[in-house]
Amino acid sequence: MDRSSEDTGDGRAEVALSMEASLSVDVNGSRIAQARHLAASFLSTVRDTHSIPVATSAVEIVQLIVSELVTNARKYAPGPALLQMQVTGNALRIELWDSNPLPPAVKAHDPGRIGQHGLEIVTALAQSVSIEATPPGKRIIATVMLNAR
């Protein structure tokens, strides 16, 4: 966790607390459980140390989103991936960068389909989801409200 200062325009500087966590994901290793644990531990620290309200349901939602994103990176990306989480206000920004340049697509709802529901789950649970091309791969960004119930 970092402190950085920003100029307020009137000669004063405000100190901003940046709360971040990250995990390097080796697509050949099992990091899904570690990513879920990191998310829960990070949100506990945010709640307990920084007194930011974090609903139990938000922790569960974040763990599921992290699990789906890391699973997809391990399944479809040829190289490493990086999971990053950052709290801003009462929102958590979850970013997963991987080395596959092809953007994923949400498939049409089909309860009979086996598999390929990851992005569908992420978009259903997150406040917002975006996908950005970042050579040589892509970044998926999901935002979750921490005080949502």
Digit-coded pLDDT (tens) for 108-126: 778 888 877 788 899 999 9
Residue 136 maps to a domain: yes
In this prediction, residues 55-76 reach a mean pLDDT of 94
- Structure pTM? 0.83
Residue 5 maps to a domain: no
Residue 123 maps to a domain: yes
Closest of 125, 73, 67 to residue 102, by C-alpha: 73
Q: Is the pLDDT of residue 10 over 50?
A: no
Q: State residue 149's pLDDT score.
A: 59
Quote the domain boundaries for residue 26: 19-145
Q: Is the pLDDT of residue 92 over 70?
A: yes
Closest of 101, 100, 87 to residue 143, by C-alpha: 87
For position 137, which CATH number holds?
Answer: 3.30.565.10
Residue 3 maps to a domain: no
Residue 135 maps to a domain: yes
Strands 81-88 and 13-25: antiparallel
Q: Is the pLDDT of residue 146 over 90?
A: yes
Residue 14 maps to a domain: no
Residue 71 maps to a domain: yes
d(CA 69, CA 120) in angstroms, rounded, equals: 11
Q: Is the pLDDT of residue 131 over 80?
A: yes
Residue 2 maps to a domain: no
In the structure, what pLDDT confidence band is assigned to residue 15 with cuts at 50, 70 and 90? very low
- Count of domains observed in the chain: 1
Q: Is the pLDDT of residue 86 over 60?
A: yes
In this prediction, residues 80-84 reach a mean pLDDT of 92
In this prediction, residues 19-31 reach a mean pLDDT of 78
